[in-house]
Amino acid sequence: MTLAPATTPTTPAYADALALLRERPLVVLTGAGLSTDSGIPDYRGPGAPDRTPMTYQEFVSGPAARQRYWARSHLGWGRMGGAEPNPGHRALARLAPELLITQNVDGLHERAGTPRLVALHGRIADVVCLDCRAGSSRAALQERLAELNPGFAERHAAAASRPDGDVDLDETAGFVVPGCAGCGGVLKPDVVFFGENVPPPRVARCYAAVEALAECEGVLLAAGSSLTVMSGLRFVRRAARAGTPVVIVNRGTTRGDELATYKLEVGCSEFLTELAG
């Protein structure tokens, strides 16, 4: 597969990529760059500051780490929870690909109405107890956090937003973290932290959709992902090995650029809106 040069809307390859995507069945992989137009920052976009997310191992290391996580998340949830799907999310819902695989946890694809979707890393709107495994809603936990920590959000309203629904904040001492309403156990957002593995059934469903593209002469479209982590890159690699065309839409380089049939250096919302017509 020959790598096309980086493209913009003024180059012929841009039109060629649009034509390819319009003619074939699609599987779409999305990353944080898809949600930046909804006001949610990404980890690795051009100009993004260095950010180190909390790992699973750190989260379970003790109460201090969980206090720091939930204090930051308490502030960030109000911002992420109020985000709305942007034109890119809505365009993908209209396109209704064979499967949309998202690395995002913000739930915006679901709210936009995408019919066939796998949230690889889960959804920040869900909470799970690590002891009894009971699930609950993040909205309900937010109410409990607000009751236990009156005035905390107002005192730290200037904290800068981070990806994945948290903020930059060091002053977390004294923040009260409730336990599971059922058993009193440790609560964790029901998302895949760094250091955890994506549940195998999710991975298997995504691999099956990508492999089916070779049989129906489809295309894999990766939008808004730097493909830095293997959870997304593996699907690009699997498609390329099968000879399936790969189109990457992302501002900045990605780990999958050498595998791309077309690499488009354009904004996701603009490109996807044009693609969906």
Any known ligand binding at 94?
no
Any known ligand binding at 225?
yes
Q: Catalytic: which of 74, 89, 109, 121? A: 121
Any known ligand binding at 105?
yes
Name 118's bridge partners. 101
Any known ligand binding at 82?
no
Q: What share of the chain is helix, strand, coil (3-state, %, to 5)?
A: 40, 15, 40
The whole-angstrom separation of Cα 228 and Cα 163 is: 15
The whole-angstrom separation of Cα 152 and Cα 88 is: 34
Tokens representing 160 are 């800068």
The whole-angstrom separation of Cα 188 and Cα 226 is: 26
Active site residue 89: no
Any known ligand binding at 183?
yes
The whole-angstrom separation of Cα 249 and Cα 275 is: 12
Any known ligand binding at 104?
yes
Name the nearest CA neighbour of 177 among 204, 153, 142, 203.
142
Q: What is the DSSP string of 105-122?
A: -S-HHHHHT-SSEEETTE
Any known ligand binding at 81?
no
Torsion of CA 85, 11, 96, 231, to 10 degrees: -80
Any known ligand binding at 206?
no
Any known ligand binding at 167?
no
Q: Which amino acid is at 96?
A: A
Answer for the pair 3, 257: CB distance below 8 angstroms, yes or no: yes
**Binding site residue list:** 103-106, 129, 132, 180, 183, 224-226, 250-252, 268
Active-site residues, by number, are 121
Q: Which residue ranges make up the annotated binding site for Zn(2+)?
A: 129, 132, 180, 183
- Binding residues for NAD(+), by number, are 103-106, 224-226, 250-252, 268
